[in-house]
């Protein structure tokens, strides 16, 4: 669920470390904690099913709980991601291997499918490399780039001509589309 947003509140009924009257804080899932199957699921690693946990930044944590507590029970729910501006595309890689990081995704926040279109090509499906990184093995140098994204809730946006024909690796291009 990389990119999904969650409202998290400290469960004051189960912990003395919650900040009194604190509202929930909204966070974006940016990473996955892989399970360690060598540890038992009940009292083993934090990443083993059925456990779920959030490893939060210190500012987000301190909005709901006392920092020195370390671990507190929380209540959470998935919420729409609110983003300012359009979806951003950072093109990395090299010729015949474009690795595109898709960021600032609103709505569900989760990109389920991605396509790229060069100004001299048709639409081509991209494959998820890892996280928010999508790859294409086409030669797209010297072509303007358009992107189409489908979120996990089924919504589709198309960002036409986001990167000009003179785009370069390492640059970020901001679209005028968003998932709301």
CA 93 to chain centroid: 20
What is the extent of the structural domain holding 112? 88-174
Query: Is 121 contained in some domain?
Result: yes
**Average pLDDT of the residues in 131-136:** 96
Let me know whether 11 and 68 are in one domain. yes
Number of domains in the chain: 2
Query: Is 67 contained in some domain?
Result: yes
The DSSP letter of residue 33 is -
Let me know whether 3 and 70 are in one domain. yes
Query: Is 180 contained in some domain?
Result: no
Let me know whether 41 and 99 are in one domain. no
Q: How confident is the model at residue 144 (pLDDT cuts 50, 70, 90)?
A: very high
Residue-wise pLDDT for 39-69, tens only, equals 776 656 677 777 778 889 999 999 999 999 9
User: Is residue 173 within 8 Å of 149, Cβ to Cβ?
Assistant: no
145, two tokens: 């780039």
Return the CATH number at 147.
2.60.40.760
Residue that finishes a domain, picked among 79, 112, 137: 79
Cβ neighbours of residue 62 under 8 Å, at least 6 residues apart? 19
Residue that finishes a domain, picked among 12, 44, 79: 79
Residue-wise pLDDT for 6-49, tens only, equals 999 999 999 999 999 999 999 999 887 778 888 776 656 677 77
Let me know whether 14 and 69 are in one domain. yes
List phi, psi (to 5°) of 58: -60, -45
Angle at 39 between CA 35 and CA 56, to 5 degrees: 50
**pLDDT value of position 50:** 75
Let me know whether 151 and 118 are in one domain. yes
| Side-chain half-sphere exposure of 157, counting CA atoms within 13 A | 22
Task: State the CB neighbour count (10 A cutoff) for residue 117.
Answer: 20
Which has the higher per-residue pLDDT, 72 or 33?
A: 72
Let me know whether 57 and 97 are in one domain. no
Let me know whether 66 and 118 are in one domain. no
Let me know whether 109 and 165 are in one domain. yes
What is this structure's pTM? 0.87
Residue that finishes a domain, picked among 57, 79, 101: 79
Let me know whether 140 and 99 are in one domain. yes
List phi, psi (to 5°) of 145: -120, 135
The DSSP letter of residue 80 is P
H or E stretch at 61 = helix 58-64
Distance (Å, whole) CA 135 – CA 180: 25
Let me know whether 127 and 67 are in one domain. no
Query: Is 155 contained in some domain?
Result: yes
Antiparallel, parallel or unpaired: β 88-94 and 127-130: unpaired
């Amino acid at each position: 669920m990389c990119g999904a947003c969650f409202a998290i509140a400290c469960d004051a009924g189960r912990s003395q470390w919650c900040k009194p009257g604190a509202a929930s804080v909204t966070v974006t899932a940016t990473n996955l904690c892989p399970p360690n199957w060598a540890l038992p699921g009940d009292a083993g690693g934090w990443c083993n099913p059925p456990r779920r946990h959030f490893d939060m930044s210190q500012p987000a944590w301190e909005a709901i709980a006392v920092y020195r507590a370390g671990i507190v029970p929380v209540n959470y729910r998935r919420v729409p991601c609110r983003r300012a501006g359009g979806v951003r595309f950072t093109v990395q890689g090299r010729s015949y291997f474009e690795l595109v990081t898709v960021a600032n995704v609103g709505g569900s926040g989760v990109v389920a499918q991605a396509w790229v279109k060069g100004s001299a090509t048709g639409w081509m499906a991209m494959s998820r490399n890892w996280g928010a990184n999508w790859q294409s093995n086409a030669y797209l140098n010297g072509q303007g780039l358009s992107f189409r994204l489908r979120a996990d809730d089924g919504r589709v946006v198309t960002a036409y001509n986001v990167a000009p024909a003179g785009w370069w690796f390492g640059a970020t291009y901001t679209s005028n589309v968003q998932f709301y």
